[in-house]
Structure 1
Amino acid sequence: MQHTGHATLSASEKLVVAAAGAAAPSVFNAQPWSFTFTDDGLEVRAESRDAALPTASAVRDVHLSCGAAVLNSRVALARLGHASRVSVLPDPGEPLLVARVHVTAGVPDASLDELYRWVDSRRTNRYPFRPERIPARVLTLLHDAARQEGATLRLLDGEPAYQRMLTSIRRATWTEEEAVRDDREARLSPDSGVSVIPPANLGPVPRRELPDDPPVRDMAEGLDVPGRGSAAFERHPDLAVLETADDGPGAWIGAGQALQRLLLEATGHGVVASFANQPLEDAWLRTEVAAGAAHHGHPQMVLRMGYATARPPAAPRRPLDEVVRYADA
């Protein structure tokens, strides 16, 4: 779309941007963000709806989720004909202010504009994948998408790295602490106070048909959730680790933007993904995963990617009036 030549948003444009931001993925579909519109753009804030963030992994997840929302807001602005500039963690005195997205005059980023069509189509897919592998040319495009946001998508396409990751995923699942299981059960209950993941979005229960568990994360592991059914999963999906050169809140926000950019790119090529972050939620295993990084980066996400056998519905979203604020209100 041609640029508008001004740096203000109309009321309808603000809703488009907010809806795109709110369509981003988030851990447990918690949607821990809010969007405040100002004279020159919007502010994205972390808005955890938990009483506390007890672990480093939980804090990292919130920043990653908000980073994905920032990317989606940039994509929507480009589609509306606006150029934008992002300031990450702009106010040291307000740590929950993740980013300011400034609307600027000029030509919007055409590569972001092209991704807008996939914002509502992207799904976290926890169903079995078809057996075919993702072509190298598509994997290269996903790698490039992450690199445009300052991150690296490390493809685990050979041994022993691939098998080592499978082992880490299984080990983290088997050794999950009881408190973590209790937290998952509380989050997935209908009266949890956060957006529940419906059975259709959880996907089927993985069948244990071989000695090794399939490399897919069952978000409701050990819980009796009616309506899920069961299915055999692929044994060797494409696995990748999203990494950043630095670690900490700023890097996590950048990783979230890189994640969403590559997920939108993937959606455009018919590729779906789910996440296998169990090893990253354990400090010792995260260090082990980091040790395998070719460029000594910090692992932020583990992705399972492939071609879907089923398409889940869109996960429920919070009403926009819960997440949108106006600076002059």
Structure 2
Amino acid sequence: MHNAQPWRFRYFRHSRTFEIHADFERTMPHSDPDTRGLHIGCGAALLNLRVAVVHSGRHPEAQLLPDPTDRALLATVRLAGSATDDSDLGALYPAIHQRHSCRFPFEDREIPDPVREALSEAARAEGAALTFPASWHLREVLELVQEAEARNITDRGSDQDLAHWTRIDTPAVDTADDGVPHYAFGPRRRGGKAPMRDFAGSRTVAGRDAADFERNPQLALLSTDHDRPEDWLRAGQALERVLLSATLEGLSSSFATQPIEWTDLRWPLRDPMTGTGCTQMLLRLGYGPRGSRTPRRPVSDVLDIQP
């Protein structure tokens, strides 16, 4: 969430094992009080690590939440043998460097069914489900986004989280290694139905334009059967696998987490046919610009190498 990068990696040479730790100092007390979003972000980072390990020719043997007494230790990844059956993961490696969230308008061009199915299969491979709401369900999802946006306008906590993790002043943009810089906000929405969060909030960004967004946005809901920390980590891995796959298919993407941040709005997002599943993420997909690179923390801040 908001490019907070709430993770730390530790590598042990003797056992050829990575540990992924949560950085709970990078939480959002209002928008993510139960750290569900933090776990999803760390799960996405875990998937990228697995992809990179396969790309290097090794097999990533991953274990989620390996120590019940250590809440911050989210996963381990052991480099075990050769990557023999992981070609699908390794093929995603180029997309890690290409994928950026795009908050600019997309074309009103429909995503073909075979591409949608490929993205759904990417989520299934990580133990999650990806569905594309349509008709009345899509209208309901968009109404829930509007309700969340209306609440956020007058919600001090949401405003504080945004203020902390967005960079508007030039010195902050030039020196920050986290957060969302103003050049990645995208234009203000003048028209259209795409569920776009205004990262500027009530603040003014000099030179920022307005634009018309999609009349018929293409959204996808990512869900898991349960709603526990291990499910959040699986959701994060599924999310990143979907995003990397979408990038290789020529798609751009952004997130619409507004209704997921409100407990009473998150529940109605679930599959209306079965009434089951816990929605973990709402994605906007389509054909558009690649999006802007955002800052990253130095490797020395997020990686510790042990003998």
TM-score normalised by the chain length of structure 1 = 0.85
- Residue of structure 2 in register with 1:324 after alignment: 303
Q: Deviations over 1:215-263 (max 9, x none)?
A: 2222223222234321111121111110001111100000000000010
Post-superposition CA distance 1:257-312 (Å, at most 9, x none) = 0000010000001111111111110010112223636461000000011001x333
Q: Is the 8 A contact 1:122 1:264 kept in 2?
A: yes
- 1:56 offset after TM fit, Å? 4.8
Alignment partner of 1:178 is 2:156: yes
Per-residue displacement from partner, 1:77-118 (whole Å, max 9, x unpaired)?
Answer: 001000111100100111111100111013341111100011
Distance in 2, Cα, partners of 1:50 & 1:150 = 27
TM-score normalised by the chain length of structure 2 = 0.91
Specify which of 129, 134, 138 is matched with residue 106 of structure 2: 129
The answer as to whether partners of 2:225 and 2:278 remain within 8 angstroms in 1 is yes
Aligned to 2:24: 48
Unaligned runs of 5+ in 2: none
**From 273, 276, 285, the counterpart of 2:256:** 276
Cα drift, residue 53 of structure 1: 3.6
Alignment of 1:221-236 (within 5 A): 221-236=201-216
Report how many residues are paired.
297
Aligned CA distance change for structure 1 residues 31 and 227 (closer, same or farther; 3 Å) = farther
Residue 35 of structure 1 corresponds to which residue in structure 2?
9
1:182-203 C-alpha deviation (Å, 9 max, x unpaired): 2212321455977131222111
What secondary structure sits across from 1:218 in the alignment? coil
Give 1:299's aligned residue: 279
Question: For 2:79 and 2:43, how far apart are their aligned partners in 1?
Answer: 17
**Aligned amino acid, residue 311 of structure 1:** R
Describe the shift of the 1:253–1:271 C-alpha distance in structure 2 as closer, same or farther (beyond 3 A): same
What residue is the counterpart of 2:73 in the other structure?
97
For 1:155, give the aligned amino acid: F
Shift of 1:133: 1.1
RMSD: 2.0
Unaligned runs of 5+ in 1: 1-26
2:131 paired with 1:154: yes
CA distance in 2, matches of 1:135, 1:52: 36
Aligned identity (percent) is 35
Query: CA separation in 1, counterparts of 2:83 and 2:233?
Result: 25
The secondary structure found in structure 2 opposite 1:254 is helix
Higher strand share: 2
Asked whether 1:288 is paired with 2:302, we answer no
Output the CA distance in 2 between the equivalents of 1:140 and 1:51. Answer: 34
Offset of 1:52 from its aligned partner? Answer: 6.8
For residues 270 and 47 of structure 2, the distance between their equivalents in structure 1, rounded to whole angstroms, comes to 25
Contact 1:126 1:201 in 2 (8 A): yes
Label 1:284 to 1:290 Cα distance change in 2 as closer, same or farther (>3 A): same
CA distance in 1, matches of 2:36, 2:203: 25
